[in-house]
C-alpha cells in the first residue's frame, strides 16, 4: 500500500518487522510489502537509510524552492521599481526635472501671493517647488525653485530665512543669490522697525547690526548687483533709524554725490531733510524738502511739501505753517498728507489763539475724514480748547463724542470718558461725575497703557470718597 511519509514513520517505529518497502519517485510515495522475520535486520537498516535520504531530499527541495521564490521576488521588485519610478531614474534625471518645473510653473500661473485665498492651491504650488529642488538639486531649476518657494512665505518667517540661506550657501553663483541675501537683510531691518514701534524690550540693535552686516556682505560679494545701490541706502537708513543721525547724514551726503542719476537720489534728499528737522536745523530741512518737491516725484513730493509746513509749525511760525498746509491741500488733495493738512491747520489756529477758527477747522476735518488717524486726537483737542475757554458744555460734548465712538482706539476713548467725569467733578456736579466714573469703570475695565494716567486712579473707592467729601461740605452735616 502507499502511505505518506508521516504514516511511514509510524509504521517503521512500531511494525517494521512485518514489511519491506520501496519508494516510488513519480508518486512520491513509499510502497510497503509484507516482510519475513529473518530479514528484519537487513530491512531495518535499509529502512532507516532510505528514510534519512528521503527526508534530506524533501527538506532540500523545499529550501531551494523557498530560496528561489525570494530571489525572484527581489529581482521582480527591483525591476518593477526601475520601471515605475521615473523620478529616480538617472537616465531621465534632467528631463524629469524639466517636467517638474513646467508643472509647478503651470500651477503657479497666475503667480500666487501671500494673501492667496485658495489655500489648497497655495499648498500644491509650495509642494511643487519643493519637489523640484529636493529631488533635482543639480538641475537648472533648483535655485529658481528655492527662491520661488521662499518668496511664497512671509519675509520674516524662519522657513523663508532658511530657504534663502540654503540658496546662498548651495548656489552662490545663482542669479537669485544677491536677491536672497538682500531679502534676509531687509527682513532684519523690518523686524527692527516693528520692534521699535511696539516698544518691546527685545534687543533692536541686534537686528539693525545684522541688517547692516548683510547689506555690506552683499556689496562686497556681488559688486555688480543692481541691489548694491539700494543696500548702500539701506545701511544709511539703519543708522538713521537707530538715531545715529550724524553717521547717517554723512553716508547720505556721500551717496548724494555718486547717485546723481539714480532714482534713490530723491529718497536721500528727503531723509536728509528729516534728519535736519530732527536736529532742529529747519532752514536746511526746508532746502532739502524743496529740492524733492521741485523734482516732481509723485510719492515723495507730497511728503516733502508737508515737511516744509511742519518746519514752520515747529519753529512757531504759525501763519507760514497754515500757508504751507493749505498749499499741500491745493497740490495733493487726495494724498494722505492732504487730509492730514486739514487737521494741522486747526492746530496752528489754536497756537495763534484763534480758538473759534481752530474748532471750526477741526470739526470740518473730522466730518470730512472721520477715519483719519488724526480724527480722535482732533476731537479731544476740541474738548481741550473749549475747556481752556471755560466752555464746559462744548468740552463735555467733544469728549463724549470720542468716548462713544467705537472706531477710535481704546486709550483715547478711556481718557475722554475720564475727562468728562473730571469736568463734572471740577464744576461741583458730584452726582454726574459719579455716574460718568462708574461708566468709565464698566465700559473701560482695562487700565490706560500709560501707568501714570489719572484715569487709572478711578475706582469705586475714589467715587465713594468723592461723594463723602461732598457730604462733608454741605451745611450742618457735621451737626447731625
Q: What is the DSSP string of 83-122?
A: HH--TT-GGGHHHHHHHHHHHHHHHTSSPP-TT-S-HHHH
381 close to 362: Cβ distance less than 8 angstroms: yes
102 close to 111: Cβ distance less than 8 angstroms: no
If phi over 0 gives left and psi between -120 and 50 gives alpha, with beta otherwise, what is residue 14? Answer: alpha
Nearest to 375, CA basis, from 401, 348, 349: 401
Q: How many helices (H) and strands (E) does the chain have?
A: 21, 3
Give the C-alpha separation, 19 to 304, whole Å: 122
The per-residue pLDDT string of the chain (480 residues; one tens digit each, 9 = 90 and over) reads 444 444 444 444 444 444 454 445 555 555 545 545 445 455 455 555 655 565 556 666 665 666 676 666 666 665 555 555 545 557 789 999 999 999 999 999 988 877 778 888 888 999 999 999 999 999 999 999 999 999 888 867 788 999 999 999 999 999 999 999 999 999 999 999 988 888 765 688 899 999 999 999 999 999 999 999 999 999 999 999 999 999 999 999 888 777 888 888 999 999 999 999 999 999 999 999 999 999 999 999 999 999 999 999 999 999 999 999 999 999 999 899 999 999 999 999 999 999 999 999 999 999 999 999 999 999 999 999 999 999 999 999 999 999 999 999 999 999 999 999 999 999 999 999 999 999 999 999 999 999 999 999 999 999 999 988 765 554 443 333
Determine the pLDDT at residue 56: 59
Give the C-alpha separation, 126 to 131, whole Å: 9
Can the peptide bond before residue 280 be classed as cis, meaning omega within 30 degrees of 0? no
Determine the pLDDT at residue 66: 65
Give the C-alpha separation, 54 to 63, whole Å: 14
Cell, residue 260: 546723481
Give the C-alpha separation, 373 to 48, whole Å: 107
SS3 29: strand
31 close to 54: Cβ distance less than 8 angstroms: no
Give the C-alpha separation, 428 to 90, whole Å: 91
> The cell 509484507 sits on which residue?
34
Mention every residue, 6+ apart, whose C-beta is less than 8 A from residue 54.
5, 23, 30
If phi over 0 gives left and psi between -120 and 50 gives alpha, with beta otherwise, what is residue 219? Answer: alpha
Cell, residue 405: 465712538
Angle among Cα 311, 316, 319 to the nearest 5 degrees reads 85
CB atoms within 10 A of CB 295: 15
> The cell 501671493 sits on which residue?
113
Q: Name the β-bridge partners of 21.
A: 32
Determine the pLDDT at residue 321: 98
* Rounded alpha-carbon distances, angstroms, from residue 438 to 111, 427, 434, 461, 467: 55, 18, 6, 11, 13
Give the C-alpha separation, 211 to 230, whole Å: 13
Across the beta sheet with 2-3, what order do the strands follow?
A: 2-3, 29-34, 19-24
Mention every residue, 6+ apart, whose C-beta is less than 8 A from residue 411.
448, 449, 450
CB atoms within 10 A of CB 429: 16
207 close to 191: Cβ distance less than 8 angstroms: yes
Give the C-alpha separation, 456 to 447, whole Å: 6
Give the C-alpha separation, 355 to 347, whole Å: 9
Distance of CA 55 to the CA centre of its chain: 74
Amino acid at each position: 500500500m502507499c502511505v505518506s511519509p508521516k504514516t511511514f514513520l509510524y509504521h517503521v517505529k512500531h511494525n517494521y518487522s512485518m514489511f519491506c518497502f520501496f519508494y516510488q519517485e513519480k508518486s512520491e510515495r513509499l510502497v510497503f510489502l509484507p516482510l519475513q522475520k529473518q530479514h528484519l535486520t537487513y530491512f531495518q537498516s535499509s529502512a532507516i537509510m532510505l528514510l534519512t535520504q528521503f527526508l534530506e531530499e524533501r527538506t532540500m527541495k523545499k529550501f531551494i524552492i523557498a530560496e528561489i521564490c525570494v530571489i525572484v521576488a527581489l529581482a521582480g521588485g527591483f525591476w518593477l521599481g526601475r520601471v515605475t519610478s521615473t523620478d529616480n531614474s538617472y537616465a531621465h534625471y534632467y528631463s524629469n526635472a524639466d517636467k517638474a518645473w513646467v508643472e509647478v510653473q503651470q500651477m503657479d500661473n497666475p503667480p500666487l501671493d501671500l494673501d492667496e485665498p485658495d489655500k489648497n492651491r497655495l499648498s500644491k504650488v509650495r509642494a511643487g517647488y519643493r519637489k523640484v529642488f529636493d529631488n533635482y538639486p543639480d538641475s537648472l531649476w533648483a535655485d529658481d525653485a528655492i527662491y520661488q518657494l521662499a518668496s511664497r512665505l512671509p519675509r520674516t518667517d524662519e522657513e523663508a530665512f532658511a530657504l534663502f540661506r540654503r540658496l546662498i550657501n548651495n548656489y552662490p553663483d545663482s542669479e537669485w543669490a544677491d536677491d536672497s541675501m538682500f531679502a534676509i537683510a531687509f527682513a532684519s531691518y523690518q523686524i527692527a522697525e516693528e520692534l521699535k514701534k511696539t516698544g518691546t524690550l527685545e534687543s533692536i540693535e541686534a537686528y539693525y547690526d545684522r541688517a547692516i552686516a548683510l547689506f555690506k556682505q552683499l556689496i562686497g560679494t556681488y559688486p555688480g548687483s543692481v541691489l548694491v545701490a539700494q543696500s548702500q541706502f539701506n545701511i544709511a537708513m539703519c543708522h538713521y533709524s537707530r538715531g545715529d543721525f550724524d553717521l547717517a547724514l554723512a553716508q547720505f551726503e556721500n551717496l548724494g554725490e555718486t547717485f546723481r542719476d539714480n532714482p534713490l537720489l530723491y529718497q536721500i534728499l528727503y531723509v536728509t531733510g528729516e534728519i535736519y528737522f530732527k536736529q532742529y536745523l529747519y532752514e536746511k530741512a526746508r532746502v532739502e524738502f524743496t529740492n524733492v518737491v521741485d523734482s516732481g516725484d509723485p510719492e515723495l513730493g507730497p511728503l516733502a511739501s508737508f515737511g516744509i509746513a511742519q518746519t514752520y509749525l515747529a519753529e512757531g511760525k504759525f501763519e507760514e505753517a497754515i500757508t504751507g498746509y493749505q498749499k499741500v491741500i491745493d497740490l495733493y488733495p487726495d494724498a494722505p498728507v492732504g487730509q492730514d493738512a486739514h487737521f494741522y491747520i486747526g492746530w496752528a489756529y489754536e497756537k495763534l489763539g484763534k480758538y473759534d477758527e481752530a474748532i471750526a477747522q477741526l470739526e470740518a476735518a473730522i466730518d470730512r475724514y472721520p477715519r483719519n488717524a488724526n480724527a480722535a486726537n482732533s476731537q479731544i483737542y476740541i474738548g481741550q480748547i473749549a475747556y481752556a475757554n471755560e466752555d464746559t458744555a462744548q468740552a463735555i460734548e467733544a469728549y463724549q463724542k470720542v468716548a462713544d465712538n467705537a472706531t477710535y482706539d481704546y486709550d483715547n476713548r478711556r481718557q475722554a470718558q475720564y475727562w468728562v467725569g473730571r469736568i463734572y467733578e471740577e464744576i461741583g456736579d458730584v452726582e454726574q461725575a459719579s455716574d460718568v466714573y462708574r461708566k468709565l469703570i464698566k465700559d473701560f475695565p482695562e487700565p490706560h497703557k500709560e501707568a501714570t494716567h489719572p484715569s487709572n486712579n478711578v475706582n469705586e473707592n475714589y467715587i465713594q470718597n468723592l461723594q463723602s467729601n461732598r457730604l462733608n461740605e454741605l451745611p450742618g452735616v457735621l451737626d447731625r
